[in-house]
Amino acid sequence: MTKKTKINDIRNIGIIAHIDAGKTTVTERILYYTGRSYKIGEVHDGEAVMDWMPDEQERGITITSAVTTCEWKGSQIQIIDTPGHVDFTIEVERSLRVLDGAIGVFCAVGGVEPQSETVWRQADKYRVPKMAFVNKLDRVGADFEGTVDMMKTKLHARPLVVQLPVGAEDQFEGVIDLIDRQMIVWDEDTLGASFETVDIAAELVPAAEKAREQMIEAVAETDDEIMEAYLADAPIETDQLVAAIRRATIELKLVPVLCGSALRNKGVQPLLDAIVRFLPSPVDIPPIKGTHPETGDIITCKASSSQPLAALIFKVSMIEGRKLSFLRIYSGRLKAGEDVFNPALGIKEKVSRILRMHANKRERVDTVEAGSIVGVVGLKRSSTGETLCSPAHPVLLERIEFYEPVISVAVEPKTHSDQEKLEQVLEKFVSEDPTLRVSTDEDTGQMILSGMGELHLEVIISRMLREFNTQVNVGKPQVVHRESIEIEAEADSVFDREIAGQRQYGEVRIRLVPLERGAGIRFRSEVSDDILPPLFLPAVEKGVRESMESGTLMGYPVVDVEAVLTGGAVKDTLGTELAYTVSASMACKAALSEGKPYLLDPIMDVEVFVTEEFMGDVIGDLNARNGKIEAIDSQKGLQVIRAVVPLARMFGYSTALRSATQGRGTFTMQFSRFDRIG
């Protein structure tokens, strides 16, 4: 990979899907056929290259997004294999933020599953062009057409079928390429590395021609040139058709659909061809925009190496105790050993080494240019979501949004030596994972670890022991609540004290008004400038917001409340910002106590997949957990129960569901909102 790749030949893609749809298996095949791996690693054997962490190999799931680079027919493909489990959604979110294209992998049996919908919506949010690969066509119950229909109904996508499967289940042989009008059949003896392209079998020609006609019709609706040729019955050249599909894919009008069975080594080479043919290079998508950190002017960062440097840190990993930062270079070039500027912190950092990543193996390079995704060593203070740029041309790229944690456990070191290590280890994990929070409970002095779900925290605790040999006792999981108030309440407060020889005075009156769910915290003033000078309003607002960080009931953050400044007083020359901040905070706390405070619980969206025979038991159990059933759908012999349930009642649910359904039931759960129960 030392030779220089033109930016037009780079493809930055992510593989996204529901847990167990075969994302990692597809990636392993891509690495094998592009010559990156000399053998195929299997997830079920715990040998997948991309699942290199011991926890991933043991559980057979992807936890962190791994980055790798490979080459195919002159193009450089940089792949991020993302997790499918909802607890690790942030890994998908931050990967999609820096990718130019994505491949949605769908299981031909399960179709479009809940987590597929979540990641697809995340990709839509970042306007990422997508392709779909319908996997596992060799499995009993595989239904290619059903999966394509589900893409329309559940994802509101416009799938464009460019391949048809030949045979199904154990008779699955290969695929028909509708663009080139050919049939591709793989050789089982060579692990699918060799395949032959033959004429479409006579009995399959009518179905293939009908599907090709439908494909051209769909492309014609998005492309005038194809429409003219189609209406005039003129022949449509392959290159012309490919160019039109590429344009429609990049403009998010169509989603090309391919098919195969990655585990049986069928369908991967045409998928690689399609990545190069249809997904965008860094120059095909609109250039990213940033702002000047001082003036706030909009700056466009063009995907060109001749432009000033603009790079985003999308992930930080601690590997063998070293901090490795993953960057997407949007414009300019980065050299090892040079200084870069972090405008968010206002500091310079030195990039000591640049590494081209291949899962957990890496290759040193001296210079990287626009379009690259690389790891760098040497950054001391910069963290996830921050921008690196050239000191002479500062630019601030939009930060990545992070989710709030919903579940906490108390951790305490087992021995004195663990005590010393624990804080350092947790600091490393927090810098690596922005959805992980560490705090100390003021009442008990316990260290509290908060995350996105039981599995998330389980993996962190397992990694503490494995990677850092730190042993901890773990308390029962605690739910992270929010607080709000039921009724309007008003209170005033006077702060009048001498501090360091100076008298400080501030007097305010605050009214708190309950708001609708999800409204957050608002602040406004109803006092005129002659009662309280505008100069003190920011200090009052600061005091209000600080007091809302911990409520009066159980110390949880307060939400859905408006604070209105209704009165105040100022004494000549004695008013100070500190006095008004403290006074506002005290008034706010007093009003919170008077406003009939109550707790809000985290409510989860839960989807349970069970067969008909166990439905009654599962619904009864959800009702007993204070859940509300919202819908029941049937899907390929399974019943899908959608419900909202308080998180506090969902602990240990996976075990309860397994025993109630003889191990056949599965479920997914994700945070919905904070709400009052009962």
Number of neighbours of residue 674 by Cβ within 10 angstroms = 24
Contacts 24+ apart (CB under 8 A), 55-61: 55/459, 55/462, 55/463, 55/466, 61/19, 61/20, 61/85
Q: How far apart are alpha carbons 165 and 108 in whole angstroms?
A: 11
**How much is the pLDDT for 16?**
81
Pick from 387, 360, 390, 385: which is nearest to 375 by CA? 360
**How far, CA to CA in Å, does 601 sit from each of 383, 455, 595, 607, 677?**
31, 20, 18, 19, 7
How far apart are the C-alpha atoms of 430 and 252, rounded to whole Å?
35
User: Alpha-carbon distance 443 to 165, whole Å?
Assistant: 62
Q: Considering only CA atoms, which of 255, 280, 479 is closest in space to residue 371?
A: 280
**Per-block average pLDDT, block size 10, for the chain (678 residues)?**
70 79 76 64 42 40 57 86 52 74 88 74 84 89 90 89 87 89 81 78 91 93 90 88 94 93 86 93 89 87 89 78 82 90 89 77 84 86 85 84 70 80 80 77 71 75 78 77 92 87 88 90 89 88 92 89 90 82 93 92 86 88 92 78 89 78 74 81
Q: Which residues, listed in sequence order, are joined to residue 504 by a DSSP beta bridge?
A: 497
DSSP string, 503-562: EEEEEEEEEEEE--TT--EEEEE-S-TTTS-GGGHHHHHHHHHHHHTS-SSSSPPB-SEE
Both structure tokens of 518 = 């999800």
Helix (H, G, I), strand (E, B) or coil at 401: coil
* 3-state secondary structure at position 604: strand
Say if residues 130 and 274 touch (Cβ distance below 8 Å): no
Q: Which pLDDT score, from 0 to 100, does residue 191 have? A: 61
195-200's contacts with Cβ under 8 Å and 24+ in sequence apart are 195/269, 200/176
H or E stretch at 639 = strand 638-646
Residue 166 structure tokens: 């030949």
Strands 10-16 and 101-107, how do they pair? Answer: parallel
Residues 6+ apart with CB under 8 A from 9: 74, 75, 76, 281
Q: Which two three-digit tokens encode residue 428? A: 């490393």
Token pair belonging to 427: 């600091």
pTM recorded for the entire structure: 0.66
